[in-house]
Amino acid sequence: MNTTHPSAVPQSAPALPVPPVAGLAPQPQPLPAGPPPVLQARRLRHTYGKSASATPALNGIDLDIQVAESLAVMGPSGCGKTTLLHVLAGIIAPTDGTVHHGGQPLQDLSDAARTRLRRSAFGFVFQDGQLLPELTALENVILPRMLAGSSRRTATADARGWLDRLGLAGLHDRRPGQLSGGQAQRVAIARALAGRPTVVFADEPTGALDQATGHAVLEVLTEASREAGASLVMVTHDPAVAAVCERTIAMRDGRIEQQFRRRSAAEGQVR
């Protein structure tokens, strides 16, 4: 894989400029030229708690995520990266600011509509898989499809294809407890992608795996997402994990501090 570790970028290499923070850009910015982003966040602020005990988690975030782009969100603990993922995915509503998915403002949707959106347009990969322990690998993959209204027969045919493609042929009927950590995470990836999402959100997807297994799972996640035409938003604190993504944003204190684009051998320079 033609990747370069972000930390390997020369110190003199220019980082992308830090996006403007809220207050400096009171109106949503116009869409940039080219294909519209699949997700667009403007002036995002989020605060946990109220009054004196209030803890700001997001402090003016502007972010565009392009179709089929892979983005790593990095930063130290408590910098707001998981909160950003939750806000982008419509899991929590931001205290201020907007998130648009395909031009549709998430803040205008009811809780039920946002739940439907997550089911139909987004896929999720969690740190420890979070597969239903009683269901087989195949059933874990078909469940979200059935919830979205697919028939069991259709969902099963698609799910078998995804599991085989991710190297799990012959393991369809195993329970999560009978799978290795890497295999279980591949099932979670199949579950996330089987619904043909526009965006896959992954929160520390390799946090519970050893290095070798984690690397293999990352390759599967990024390549399968790209092939499926889904954008990937991955939260991680590990630079080696972030390195597989095309773009990395580094957060600190609820702000985007820096952005990097992966330098490929073909490009030969930081974009």
In the complex, the residues that contact other proteins under the rule CB under 8 A are 82, 89, 91-92, 112, 115-120, 122-124, 126, 128, 130-135, 139, 143-144, 146-148, 151-152, 175, 177-178, 191-192, 203
The secondary structure of 36-67 as a DSSP string is: PPSEEEEEEEEEES-GGG-EEEEEEEEEEE-T
CB of 194 to other proteins, least distance (A): 11
Contact 183/164 with Cβ under 8 angstroms? Answer: no
CB of 202 to other proteins, least distance (A): 12
CB of 220 to other proteins, least distance (A): 19
What is the residue whose two structure tokens read 């591949």? Answer: 186
Question: Cβ closer to other proteins: 18 or 146?
Answer: 146
Question: Cβ closer to other proteins: 82 or 213?
Answer: 82
CB of 158 to other proteins, least distance (A): 15
Tell me whether strands 122-125 and 199-203 are parallel, antiparallel or unpaired.
parallel
Question: Cβ closer to other proteins: 116 or 237?
Answer: 116
Q: How far apart are CA 252 and CA 75, in angstroms?
A: 6
Question: Cβ closer to other proteins: 7 or 178?
Answer: 178
Residues ≥6 apart with Cβ < 8 Å to 52: none
- Enter the tokens of residue 21: 């923070």
Question: Cβ closer to other proteins: 97 or 123?
Answer: 123
What is the residue whose two structure tokens read 């999560």? Answer: 176
Q: What are phi and psi of 127, to 5 degrees?
A: -55, -50
CB of 146 to other proteins, least distance (A): 4
